[in-house]
Chains A and B, each alone.
Chain A
Amino acid sequence: DADVTQTPRNRITKTGKRIMLECSQTKGHDRMYWYRQDPGLGLRLIYYSFDVKDINKGEISDGYSVSRQAQAKFSLSLESAIPNQTALYFCATLTDNYGYTFGSGTRLTVV
């Protein structure tokens, strides 16, 4: 099983809909992250969490919210999706040797 699992892998949603992207990890790492990738822009940090009570905004948090339901789960929500939130979203954990492990990504299309 993958260390970091993202669901769904692909999602198409309509403008104005609420959508949640889910991330779970199996290694018990405290620190989890959500990134967004746009073509030609690299990855940018949306939110990160050090534990269930510690949530921090990243570079581009506007229009997003997160929930750390448990140590293993970190969800990203778009309260009212808009087309420019169409992107590839990655969840990541910080491992014990200070490396980052990424999930396989969720490709979100807002129409």
Chain B
Amino acid sequence: AQKVTQAQTEISVVEKEDVTLDCVYETRDTTYYLFWYKQPPSGELVFLIRRNSFDEQNEISGRYSWNFQKSTSSFNFTITASQVVDSAVYFCALSPYSGGGADGLTFGKGTHLIIQP
């Protein structure tokens, strides 16, 4: 069985601070995909990143960066110089690699990020 744990239920920081959202996963699959999604107050799910388990390079996209560590089964997400518009619920998710990940996603419970002006 697969499991994704986002231990931080809610994080509140002041604008311009850096913030890291933690994600720890469990899977018996040797290859898999990891995802991050953003859910702003409007409710839609916005895709942020997908990472293959055999690609352990960290990734940076603007103010966003992701640290994938297979040894600790973690896929953490950092926002640098946070902005009020970053306020949202963030979900980490996992799918098997076999079949192109077609069996659906296993989500964590989400981290509610509040950026105070």
Interface residues of A (CB under 8 A from B): 31, 33, 35, 40-45, 48, 50, 56, 58, 88, 90, 94, 98-102, 104-105, 107
Question: Interface size of B by Cβ–Cβ distance < 8 Å?
Answer: 23
Can you list 16 pairs linking A and B with CB atoms under 8 Å apart?
A31-B102, A33-B104, A35-B105, A40-B110, A42-B91, A42-B107, A45-B106, A48-B103, A56-B103, A94-B102, A100-B35, A100-B47, A101-B47, A102-B45, A105-B45, A107-B43
Q: Is the CB of B100 within 8 A of A40?
A: no
User: How many residue pairs at the A-B interface have CB separations less than 8 Å?
Assistant: 54
B-to-A contact residues, CB < 8 Å? 4, 9, 33, 35, 37, 43-45, 47, 50, 91, 93, 100-110
- Which of B33, B93, B101, B105 gathers the greatest number of chain A CB atoms within 10 Å? B105
User: Hey, which chain B residues are within 8 Å of A90, CB to CB?
Assistant: 45
Top 4 closest pairs, chain A to chain B, by CB: A42-B107, A102-B45, A42-B109, A45-B104
Tell me whether chain A's interface is mostly helix, strand or loop, or mixed: strand
Smallest CB gap from B42: residue in A: A104
Pair A50/B102 contact, Cβ less than 8 Å: yes
CA distance A42 to B110 in the complex (A): 6
Nearest-neighbour CB distance to chain B for A10, whole angstroms, equals: 11
C-alpha spacing A50/B99, complex, angstroms: 11
A43 to B4, CA, bound (A): 11
Is the beta-carbon distance between A98 and B100 smaller than 8 angstroms? yes
**In the bound complex, how far is the Cα of B105 from the Cα of A44, in angstroms?**
8
